[in-house]
Amino acid sequence: EIVMTQSPATLSVSPGESVTFSCRASQTVLSNLAWYQQKPGQAPRLLIYRASTRATGIPDRFSGSGYGSQFTLTISSLQSEDFAVYYCQQYSNWPRTFGPGTKVDIK
Amino acid sequence: EVQLVESGGGLVKPGGSLRLSCAASGFTFSSSTMNWIRQAPGKGLEWVSSISSRSDYIYYADSVKGRFTISRHNAKNSLYLEMNSLRAEDTAVYYCAREVSIFEVLSGFDYWGQGTLLTVSS
């Protein structure tokens, strides 16, 4: 099983700031990496797939990068609606595995 | 409009059984790989099971293998999860989700239902 780790666990950010957080896989997943946003009481929403491709309707302030085992998600100019938990997930192998999440909250 | 609507959750005693259903609309269900993903209260996401469009490929997480069975009925646009020998640690919100295929490569879960809560407790 590919183990996904994310850091940091929590980030406190002011609106308008930019934020970058990390995701690491225990072995290479090539570019088979997705990012999700989840707000309280809601289902996750796909933000990024193939490590860097934005899903339909996702604003361009969200960007992903990385390859192999190290990935990052950057949110430029954080908006109020961006405060949420962000998960990475690999789809290179079965079982599909998620990282534990990074919570972005308001400073 | 894409919709995935889960149903069948509830309170079950340890060792009991339950079947979850997911009704799909607004996309070509019969061509889609479908999944169950769960989230224990206050915890992260855990993939549970996947079934290919024609049910020829099925995968399970080790935590549910031998106890849960995924199935689908394409003519009814429905996905199911039969759960047996339930344990307290199966308590979670269960989401059905489509794993999108882009250029014939599975590429993440793009459609999600709102989830159904399963509570396993005596």
pLDDT digits (tens, 9 = 90+) for A59-100: 999 999 999 999 999 999 999 999 999 999 999 999 999 999
| A1–B108 C-beta distance less than 8 A | no
A29 close to A83: Cβ distance less than 8 angstroms: no
Mean pLDDT for B12-18 is 98
Burial class, B93, CB count within 10 angstroms (exposed 0-12 / middle 13-18 / buried 19+): buried
pLDDT at residue B57, rounded to an integer: 96
B2: distance to nearest CA of chain A, Å? 13
Q: Which of A81-95, B36-50, B95-109 has the lowest mean pLDDT?
A: B95-109
- Mean confidence (pLDDT) of chain A: 96
pLDDT at residue B114, rounded to an integer: 97
Q: Is B27 on the interface with A (CB under 8 A)?
A: no
pLDDT at residue A36, rounded to an integer: 98
Mean pLDDT for B40-48 is 98
**Percent of chain B residues topping a pLDDT of 90:** 93
**Percent of chain A residues topping a pLDDT of 70:** 100
Question: Quick check: B65 pLDDT over 90?
Answer: yes
A5: distance to nearest CA of chain B, Å? 12
Mean pLDDT for A38-55 is 97
Chain A residue closest in CA terms to B100? A49
CA distances (Å), origin B83, targets B15, B20, B62, B68, B118: 10, 8, 14, 4, 10
Question: Quick check: B106 pLDDT over 90?
Answer: no
What is the distance of C-alpha A20 from the center of its chain? 9
pLDDT at residue B93, rounded to an integer: 98
Q: Is B114 on the interface with A (CB under 8 A)?
A: yes
pLDDT class of B36 with cuts at 50, 70, 90: very high
Mean pLDDT for B56-62 is 97
- B41 CB neighbours in chain A (<8 A) are none
CA distances (Å), origin A84, targets A21, A26, A103, B5: 13, 25, 6, 23
